[in-house]
Structure 1
Amino acid sequence: MLKGSMLVTALAAAALVVVPQPVSAATVDVSTAAQLQAALGSATPGTVVRMAAGTYRGSFVSQKAGSSSQPITLTGPANAVLINDGPSGQAPSCPAPTAGWDSGYGLWLYGAPYWKLTGFTVAESKKGIVLDNSHHTTLDGVYVHHVDEEAVHFRRSSADSVIRNSRITDTGLVQKGYGEGVYIGSANSNWSCHGNSGGADKSDRVQVLDNRIGPNIAAEPIDVKEGTQAGVIRGNTFNGQGITGQNSADSWIDVKGTDYLIENNTGTFTSPGTFANGYETHNPSTTPSFPNGCGNTWRGNKSDLGGAGEYAIKITSTSKCKERPNVVHASNTVTKAKKGLTNVPVTP
């Protein structure tokens, strides 16, 4: 038993114990382009950058990383609009934030994983939203429209990312053949810039969920590049009106990746535009050898080809995918097709 003086001392010491309290993340409210640029440049894990309604005109880029437990959030209403009037200056040989060069991208995350982008709009820029080595990023409820090239690009191994509940229209205003809605990965001709140590751009496991894409997407609403794997494309609505056919863009989705699940999407096509098939696969060769365009699964998709397209799902070069065949389930449906549902046997 403690004596009186000792008991008093023990109780006093206990009273001095401070229980750590969780630190609340900083919320930064911005209403001007300069304030937004500063907030993007100083964000730390857990920061919430909250935009007021208005037009933000300038170059908006961040190289700040969030974390799995404390992502960085950039949020605003739909009438908070980011516009980049670039590009300008001398571009580097491979795109990277460089002094004196403006990429022209509406919003650029470079080496900035674990972000949440919600609610706002990007327009009137060279590209819309570009993610480079910015894995575990979520885009939710954004609107991208009237851009010169692609709207949203998951690039340079921006794996395990998501775009959902978003809207994309009017792409490829200047470069029609590069006016994709959602662009996953990079063509093998660009792996020297965007690949892992010269290998594939491993923007793997990207999910494209419940978006509205089109009309006036000049290239494919979704372009899945070779070397990427295991993504999910589900619940989207594709309006193919305005697909131009340039640079072989003549379908809602061109799948050159591997082991994608493509399900419960709804696609339509009406003129004007160029339309060959609803969904297509291709098998570009890469070094080292990789079974591109194989092992993908389609189920529950509804396709209206508008009397223009041949097949809802056109599978090419089945001989290249003998070990990992593409699978088209009978739950897919098609109307107004020149030839039918698919050119391969249907799986129950």
Structure 2
Amino acid sequence: MKAVVLQRNGSAHQAFELVEVAQPNLKNDQVLIKVEAFGINYADVMARQGLYKDAPPLPSILGYEVVGEIVTSNASKLNVGERVLAFTHFGGYAEYAVAEELACVKLSKEIPTSEALALATQYCTAIHAFENMASVRTGESVLIHAASGGVGNALVDLARNKNCYIVGTSGSEEKVQLLNRRGVNLSINYSKNDFENTIGASNISGIDAIFDPIGGRTFRKNKKLLAQGGRLIMFGVSSFSGKKGNLIDKLSLAYSFGLMHPLEFLLRGISIQGLNMLHLSLDKPELLNELMMRAVALYKDGIAKPQIGWKGTVEQLAEVHDLMERRLTTGKLVVYWK
């Protein structure tokens, strides 16, 4: 079968090669999927740069999620010929991919492939962060960093459904306009304006829930902005992208988070939580399945409205990787085999 293999770390146009590889073997409770399309996530960019410690050793096949048809099944509740959305734990950049039974949900033909792919990593991350970890209540205030991205868009959908006051950050005026069209109450271009000062100058007394995939430079400001009982959910450290990953870079990142005293958490009633969907999917597969089913249900109810930012073919993979690394993309990025 064909697969896009990460042969070396570095720039997108030099790191990947489209080659023939052996078709993967199945274990119990797994299915083999003929892949129609797969999604791109920022963790893929970090893995290509050699900065994602959970990535498999080189040469490797990246890719967290696929949509396709089951061609072989060792699972009791999934049958050959069924169309599924699957969380693949790497291996998605291939014509055929393996997935655990609990990491699959059946898809009706009415759900477009591109929108279905957004329901995997992006919406599952958003749902768990918003509903389970932050437990956002109706009418609360939320701050969503990188709000025009895949997870950010999903969080905006969930926040709108709860009638929250939404503050969203993004890195360009075009993305700010996108956020305004999507109903964000206060949209901030962080490349021009300090989000802490902008929020401080508004009528918001504090933020109830903050969702941050950036980390580093945003952390201290986030902590200051939290209201009494506020929750900060971190699901990425994209600020580390482009670094060399050496000791100096790691120390610099650690320093940017600053010092924290437990008494502050007690007096203010605030909490800080981290989310890694790869670890969650491996350690709690039943929860992953619940999140995927919830995402599909929200889509069918018209609450989840995936924003598709880019669609292309495997020959354009390096191009979209480069665009994402330079933060020139929005929404879900989808790669088709044909």
Q: TM-score, normalised by structure 1?
A: 0.24
Greater fraction strand: 1
* Greater Rg by CA: 1
TM-score by length of 2: 0.24
